[in-house]
Amino acid sequence: MFDKIKDMLGGSKKNLGDLPLGGYEKYLKGVTYPIGLDDLKTAFRNNGAPDQVLGLLDKVGGKGKSTFSSEEDVVGSLKGELKSRM
């Protein structure tokens, strides 16, 4: 299962440490809500989010999600996108 997720996200098959399965909260430092997708991506980038996580945000946005009302909304959307790809 991990290999499938890693392939989907472009992660290395040798190191589970680079697989962004959680811990998204650390990229939300300084975010105030509600927040739009573009501002959220900027915050994630400024807080060191890897390209795989930024790509996951793009996938969430591609499904029509453009505004997030809380940290739980952001994290739930990202986790939901991962689950939909398994």
Do residues 27 and 44 make contact, with C-beta atoms less than 8 angstroms apart? yes
Give me the pLDDT at residue 24, please: 87
What digits encode the pLDDT tens for the residues 12-36? 433 333 445 568 889 999 999 999 9
What digits encode the pLDDT tens for the residues 35-82? 999 999 999 999 999 998 899 999 999 999 999 999 999 999 998 888
Would you list the domain boundaries of the chain?
2-84
Say how far apart CA 50 and CA 61 lie, in whole Å: 17
Say how far apart CA 36 and CA 13 lie, in whole Å: 33
How many CB atoms are closer than 10 A to CB 44? Answer: 23
